[in-house]
Structure 1
Amino acid sequence: MTLRWDAFVEHVQERGEYASREEADRAARVVLALLGAHLVGEDRVEVAARLPETYALILLNPLRASEPLDAQRFVRATAAWIDGATEATAPWDVSAVLSVVAEAIDDDLLQRVLLQLPPGYDLLFGRPQAA
């Protein structure tokens, strides 16, 4: 089942402790654009299918990462794109969004997504993997 926009943003706002839906929406847009640049194929399409249409389109945007960012560089990139974010607050922003994504998709799809990403993203999705 696809989450509605308002429910998705509400969850991100709650997790990120944002003062407004607008702040939560900005964080979601940045994080999903960066995530979309790292995912390919059917997994990317399946994740998008579980998101509200606005965010699905952002995830499916044809921008491609020239190289996969490790989790730390992903967080730094997020900090650069969210107004007022710092490298200290960006992990919070990323996790607020990706943990909602993790709940919107099933565990099998999440595992396939994590296989496409460099190590360390499991923590950003709020689903630490056993070493």
Structure 2
Amino acid sequence: MTTLLNPYFGEFGGMYVPQILMPALRQLEEAFVSAQKDPEFQAQFNDLLKKLCRRPTALTKCQNITAGTNTTLYLKREDLLHGGAHKTNQVLGQALLAKRMGKTKIIAETGAGQHGVGVGPCQRPARPEMPYLYGCQRR
């Protein structure tokens, strides 16, 4: 299959998926590449990161650990974003991409609920009537 994006990372990577999924993966890849190049999409994504995630997160100067040294140390406070920075960042982007693609449902995998926490704020950027389905284990 010819792809728009390189599916390899050095000698690693590739695609090992059932053929029935290939049309959906091609559609997703085309939408992603298009959105990546679209300044309006990027502006909307960055605006949501700023409003919902308080991006960029704060830098905190560590004065005690560097006392008596000629060193300045800052921490990038990713811990201030509830649920973990990577989860909220990626689900916001995925929800916007789903909206752009005309999708009507989003499913979040979750073990501890954090992807669900990340998906919650996406209701606004996606569409109010879009239901969010959370994965759960049956006991």
Q: What's the TM-score, normalizing by structure 1?
A: 0.32
Q: Which has the larger radius of gyration?
A: 2
TM norm structure 2: 0.30
Compare the two structures and name the one with the higher helix fraction.
Answer: 1
